[in-house]
Amino acid sequence: MTDFKLISDDEWRQRLSPEEFHVLRRAGTEPPHIGEYTDTTTEGVYACRACGAELFRSTEKFDSHCGWPSFFSPLAGDRIIERRDTSHGMVRVEVLCAACESHLGHVFEGEGYDTPTDLRYCINSISLTLREE
């Protein structure tokens, strides 16, 4: 089994496209409304594009009209890491894959969406791969 946390930047660059590397390994953000999963309603499991770890289920995906796929809960709390992010003059909570520590997006609370958790996991499409069920 690969310990994804030990993979070098050079190896990640070989495994990922330049755009994937920018978002997943350098905490970039893809432009809004262009990602392949922004408006997808296909049933399945969303996995980390870098390592394949299962992260989110389509049943927890909702339309937030924010320009990126939104989920109200991960598959399990141990699938992701949440950490304080003070970049770009903002205070946010970054979401990373727990298996490989790749950047996925951010989570926001208290925005008033009609979801069971009042959370919005705003995730870059390029960080995910959908496995249809």
Please check whether residue 84 is in contact with residue 64, taking contact to mean a CB–CB distance below 8 angstroms. no
Query: What's the rounded Cα separation, in Å, for the pair 104 and 124?
Result: 6
Among this protein's residues, is 51 annotated catalytic? no
Ranges of beta strands (E only) in the chain are 44-48, 54-57, 61-62, 70-71, 80-85, 92-97, 103-109, 119-123, 128-132
Query: What's the rounded Cα separation, in Å, for the pair 117 and 110?
Result: 9
Which residues are annotated as catalytic? 122
